[in-house]
A = this chain, B = another copy of it.
Amino acid sequence: MKSIKAVTLVGNPKIASRTLQVAEEVTGQVTGWLEPQGVEVANTTVDIAELGGGLLEWENKAVNDVLQRIAECNLLIAASPIYKASYTGVLKMLLDRIPMEGLSGRVAIPVMVAAAPIHMLAVETHFRPVLIELGACCPTRGLVVLESKLGELSDVVGKWLEAAKPMLAPLLVTRSS
Interface residues of A (CB under 8 A from B): 13, 49, 52-53, 55-56, 83-96, 98, 104-105, 116-122, 124-126, 128-130, 132-135, 137-142, 163, 166-167, 169-171, 174-175
Contact = CB atoms under 8 A, between A and B. Distances in A.
A96 B92 CA distance: 12
Contacts of A133: 84-86, 124
11 contacts: A56-B56, A84-B98, A84-B133, A86-B133, A89-B89, A105-B166, A118-B121, A120-B121, A125-B129, A128-B129, A137-B166
A134 B175 CA distance: 26
A133 B116 CA distance: 13
